[in-house]
A and B are shown apart, each in its own frame.
Chain A
């Protein structure tokens, strides 16, 4: 990893809640993200991991202002992203871009690769001529490893890997400073997954990009991220540098995730103790009291039901667990 650059993004106490309306019932408040704080240095990649429903995507959407945050601050470039309105918000959007899991669903089926990739220029650099836009699109396409013969292609004429390259080109053509990747590799085949993973890393180094990399795939996160945030039912369980997390995970949930990940080695897989994590993530409409993870935790004690554990420093990690010191790192 390159030398740590100054801080680019500081998120403090971010919460996101959704109001649910169901016929015949009173509106309920679903707390998708609760009191999440983290920092991201320039050129760094922060991984966000956790099961479905843990709030990973809601963090990205709130920071991109696609859904409203219910509280918190997100200091980016001296401004609070969550307070921006009107023209300053619009100007900020070019610095923050997003790529999604399924490129074939995220691209407009009626737009050619060239139209998709150059569309952000239409919005943000309206003074450019069509020829200039086209030239920039060509350069960008080449940067993501596609020749210009792909320019006229429609999404259905592309493979999943090619479509994801187009989505990356569209996201990067405005030279954003922060790229959110929401499960960018999950829908791709094994051999293509590593091509796209390598491409993202290479572009990050070339462009000095910072990234937020959302994934349920721990091995991909280990490869791509310098720092990792483990989320469960909207709360931070553990926040640590990559090496600390993968060599000495402190939180029982992080350990359970590591133990559950499939191991591509049959002898190791047979030797490994059965994962300790039973059951499933509870409904975010009725989260457990105290530590939200306690209902599935093998180490839970009375205190865990009574008191929400604060995020505190244990070894090289920030951990939200009352018993972090007693549990041997994984």
Chain B
């Protein structure tokens, strides 16, 4: 199956699945048959709640899911297969062509090493750049991510920096080897709203100036709306809807995407007596029923939904959904509690 983008993909995921072997020998699927493409310079948002598989999908791109994970399918970067490559070869791509920014900047940095050493290490590892040049580059990048007084910062340890400053350092570190793709896993979730909006603006600038493509994982539809060009909404390990950012927010086609948006309380407009919510809880990946995983919580559920898994299909130009219900959504809004 083809995914929506028409430009030549930088990254192409085909039928990617991730399962974890448990002590009892059973394999628990956490990502199930995902197809995705990322175009050069594009920001793709992966939205969904905890346990939907978005982080596992992100990690599968660079094979960081851990030793108990079974990965199948295909992950191609510029046509080159990454999945199943030996670690030594993957390490030439990781951090160099595809870099990662994790959620918690406090744990992403080594507490025992000064910032400068951690930044220049990236270049020493990828391409044996001499220390002095690497430090110059580190200084430039700290400036680019708006860290004041970069020379002094290079001498400092992570504990001497605030959370927002640490996340800027982590972003600078990810940019050291001039990657083409940035994988960002909840990059602002651990930060205050004011610092969050600064970091989101910084990420947008990086795309404008350097054309870096990004895969942005976030549970926060506000963060996705502010940054992404295109969104894939995940539920129980599958993509349930994929569309351009405006289409997804204005005309969501999957009941889960619609409900996710309606759950977010608003800063303006009429104030509801009760917040819309989604009844129930996400399913246990070890005990998935045969049909649509969202069916038990869905206001639009049909008899068919509990029997057959809906395939991801094109519902409009560039707009994909995995749902049997074909009427326009919104009609049943009042019934969502």
Q: Which residues of A contact B (CB under 8 A)?
A: 51-52, 159-161, 189-195, 197-198, 201, 216, 218-220, 222-223, 246, 256-267, 269, 274-275, 277-278, 280-281
Chain A residues near B195 (CB-CB < 8 A) = 51, 280
B92 to chain A, nearest CB (A): 36
Contact A266 B246 (CB under 8 A): yes
The count of A-to-B residue pairs whose CB atoms sit within 8 angstroms is: 123
Chain B residues near A280 (CB-CB < 8 A) = 162, 164-165, 194-195
Contact A223 B226 (CB under 8 A): no
Chain A residues near B279 (CB-CB < 8 A) = 195
5 inter-chain pairs at a CB distance below 8 angstroms, sorted by A residue, are: A222-B266, A222-B271, A223-B272, A262-B226, A280-B165
Interface size for B (C-beta < 8 A) is 44
Contact A216 B193 (CB under 8 A): yes
Contact A190 B198 (CB under 8 A): no
Contact A264 B261 (CB under 8 A): yes
Chain B residues near A264 (CB-CB < 8 A) = 221-222, 225, 249, 261, 264, 266
Contact B265 A219 (CB under 8 A): yes
A260 to B201, CA, bound (A): 11
A22 to chain B, nearest CB (A): 13
Contact A216 B192 (CB under 8 A): yes
Q: Which residues of B contact A (CB under 8 A)?
A: 49-50, 162-165, 192-198, 200-201, 219-223, 225-226, 245-246, 249, 259-261, 263-268, 271-272, 274-279, 281-282
Report which residue of A260, A266, A278, A280 has the largest number of chain B beta carbons within 10 angstroms of its beta carbon. Answer: A266
A259 to B259, CA, bound (A): 25
Which residue of chain B is the closest to A52 with respect to CB atoms?
A: B192
A51 to chain B, nearest CB (A): 4
Contact B49 A222 (CB under 8 A): no
Contact B226 A260 (CB under 8 A): no
Given A193-B263, A223-B271, A258-B267, A263-B198 contact (CB < 8 Å): no
Chain B residues near A281 (CB-CB < 8 A) = 192
Chain A residues near B267 (CB-CB < 8 A) = 218-219, 222, 246, 258, 261, 263
Contact A201 B196 (CB under 8 A): no
Chain A residues near B219 (CB-CB < 8 A) = 189-190
Chain B residues near A266 (CB-CB < 8 A) = 225-226, 245-246, 249
Given A219-B266, A280-B164, A257-B194 contact (CB < 8 Å): yes
A195 to B266, CA, bound (A): 16
Contact B49 A262 (CB under 8 A): no
Which residue of chain A is the closest to B280 with respect to CB atoms?
A: A191
Contact A198 B249 (CB under 8 A): no
Sorted nearest first, the 9 A-B pairs with minimum C-beta distance are A262-B222, A194-B277, A191-B278, A194-B275, A219-B265, A260-B197, A189-B49, A51-B192, A269-B226
Which residue of chain B is the closest to A281 with respect to CB atoms?
A: B192
